[in-house]
Structure 1
Amino acid sequence: MSRSATHLPRLDCPCCVDAARPPAFRRREVIRASLAAIACTAVVRPALAQSGPPRVLRIQRADAPENSFEGTYWENGRYLRPALEQLDWVLRDLPTAEVTPMDPRLFDVLHAVAQQMDSSETYQVISGYRAPERNAALAKRLARASTVSLHMSGMAADVRLPDRDSYGMARQAAEMQMGGVGLYRHDGFVHLDCGQPRRW
Structure 2
Amino acid sequence: MRPRLPPCPCCTGGGETILPRRGLLGAALGLACTAAAGARAQVPDTAPRRLTIQRLQTGEVFDGPYWRDGRYDREALRQLDWVLRDPSMEEATPMDPRLFDVLATVARQMDASEGYQVISGYRAPETNAARARESRRVSRASLHMSGMAADVRLPGRDSLGLARLAAELQVGGVGLYRRDGFVHLDCGPARRWQ
Provide TM-score, normalisation by structure 1.
0.82
Q: How many residues align?
A: 181
Q: CA deviation at 1:138?
A: 2.1
Match of 1:101 among 79, 94, 103: 94
* 1:196 and 2:184 correspond: no
Match of 2:110 among 105, 117, 142: 117
**What residue is the counterpart of 1:58 in the other structure?**
52
Q: Against the structure 1 CA distance between its residues 93 and 169, is the aligned structure 2 distance closer, same or farther, given a 3 Å change threshold?
A: same
Q: Secondary structure at the match of 1:16?
A: coil
CA distance in structure 2 between the partners assigned to 1:185 and 1:36 by the alignment: 26
Q: What are structure 2's unaligned runs of at least 5 residues?
A: 1-9
Q: CA deviation at 1:38?
A: 1.7
Query: Which digits, 9 at most, give the CA deviation of each residue in 1:42-84, with x for residues without a partner?
Result: 457522356221111000012322x110001001110000000
Structure with larger RCO (C-alpha < 8 A, sep 6+):
2
Provide TM-score, normalisation by structure 2.
0.84
**What residue is the counterpart of 1:3 in the other structure?**
none
CA distance in structure 1 between the partners assigned to 2:189 and 2:65 by the alignment: 26
Q: What are structure 1's unaligned runs of at least 5 residues?
A: 1-14
CA RMSD of aligned residues (A): 2.2
Q: Against the structure 1 CA distance between its residues 96 and 72, is the aligned structure 2 distance closer, same or farther, given a 3 Å change threshold?
A: same
CA distance in structure 1 between the partners assigned to 2:119 and 2:138 by the alignment: 18
Amino acid at match of 2:29: A
CA distance in structure 2 between the partners assigned to 1:143 and 1:188 by the alignment: 18
Identity of aligned residues (%): 59
Q: Against the structure 1 CA distance between its residues 193 and 148, is the aligned structure 2 distance closer, same or farther, given a 3 Å change threshold?
A: same
Q: Secondary structure at the match of 2:106?
A: helix
Alignment of 1:112-191 (within 5 A): 112-142=105-135, 145-191=138-184
CA distance in structure 2 between the partners assigned to 1:144 and 1:124 by the alignment: 21
Query: Which digits, 9 at most, give the CA deviation of each residue in 1:102-156, with x for residues without a partner?
Result: 0000000000000000012010000000001111222333467432100000000
Amino acid at match of 2:187: C
**What residue is the counterpart of 1:16 in the other structure?**
11
Q: Secondary structure at the match of 2:92?
A: coil
* 1:71 and 2:64 correspond: yes
